[in-house]
Amino acid sequence: MTETLVKTKIPILQFDSLNVIYNEGEPNQVHALKDVSGEIHEGEFISIIGPSGCGKSTMLHTLDGLLQPTSGTIFVNGSPVHGPDGDRAMVFQDFALMPWQTVYQNVEFGLRLAGKKGSEIHDKVMHYIKLVGLDGFEQKYPHQLSGGMKQRVGIARGFAVEPKVLLMDEPFSAIDEQTREIMQEEVLKIMLHEKKTVIFITHSIDEAVFLSSRIFLMSVRPGQIVEEVKIDIPYPRTLETKLLPEYQEYKQIIWDHLKGEVRRQYRRGEA
């Protein structure tokens, strides 16, 4: 029941040979993404792992529509993407909260931009503020919050627009271990109950194996998806999942791969 990968349907997100080159033709040109292709189906939880600077954020921004790829196409439910829209919501690596808006106004951001009235959305906004554990901080400004709290405001802002696909760029990096576990459970709950699709960047192998149905492993720059690891552990996953022998095996596979990539990066003198 929880394995919702119905392969016959059109993928919710499909991308074909995406290339992103920053400052093309100039001396400081950077080939950030190279021939990245893939299909993601509704209800999947995809994690992207790869060394720092390999193009993970670039890939997520491209999938959101924020970044026009140098070449390649993206389809959502079969129709091409021309820019950001309500189907996908982004949780940014650098939080990107409006400093002049309170926690409440920041969480409300996407709904307000969509033209929803303040009274209609109040309950929804409060629901997501509570979900990330920031009850009582609605009227605070971002500069009055800790790094982890800011990050949770960014997560609530993404959840609040209730998109089909959630794009999360290292969303838990500044959050303490205990809160992180709660947040992981919440994301899984949302994904299972509301059939959301999640694309998730992380540097934590444990987090990736625990959450994902599939993991994309990326190479050093130019970023390519060099391997896909399917995690065949049924949802819902609990803390006991972590004790399964296959859980440890998956972690080992990914660890070995990453070590290889990081070595390559060091040899090129880039890290």
Ligand X SMILES: Nc1ncnc2c1ncn2[C@@H]1O[C@H](COP(=O)(O)OP(=O)(O)OP(=O)(O)O)[C@@H](O)[C@H]1O
- What are the start-end ranges of the E strands in the chain? 13-22, 30-40, 45-49, 71-76, 79-80, 88-91, 165-169, 197-201, 214-218, 225-230
C-alpha distances out from residue 177 to 30, 204, 241, Å: 35, 12, 17
Report how far Cα 225 is from the mean position of its chain's Cα atoms: 16
> Among 141, 179, 186, 251, which residue interacts with other proteins (rule: CB under 8 A)?
141
**Single-letter code of the amino acid located at 206:** D
What are the DSSP E strand ranges found in 114-201? 165-169, 197-201
Cis amide leading into 245 (omega within 30): no
Site string for Mg ion, 84-113 (x = CB under 5 A): ---------x--------------------
Query: 25: alpha, beta or left, given left = phi > 0 and alpha = psi -120 to 50?
Result: left
Binding mask 95-124 for other proteins (x = CB under 8 A): -xxxxxx-------xx--xx----------
Measured from the CB of residue 95, what is the shortest distance to other proteins in angstroms? Answer: 9
Which position among 13, 54, 76, 168 is part of the footprint of ligand X (CB under 6 A)? 54
Range in contact with ligand X (rule: CB under 6 A) among 52-60, 81-89, 180-188, 252-260: 52-60
241 secondary structure, DSSP code: G
Closer residue to ligand X, CB minimum distance, 66 or 126: 66
Residue 174 binding ligand X, by CB under 6 A: no
Q: Which of residues 79-108 bind ligand X (CB under 6 A)?
A: 93
Q: Which positions touch other proteins (CB under 8 A)? A: 61, 64-66, 83-86, 89-90, 92, 94, 96-101, 109-110, 113-114, 141-143, 157, 161
Q: Which positions touch ligand X (CB under 6 A)? A: 22-23, 30, 32, 50, 52-58, 93, 221
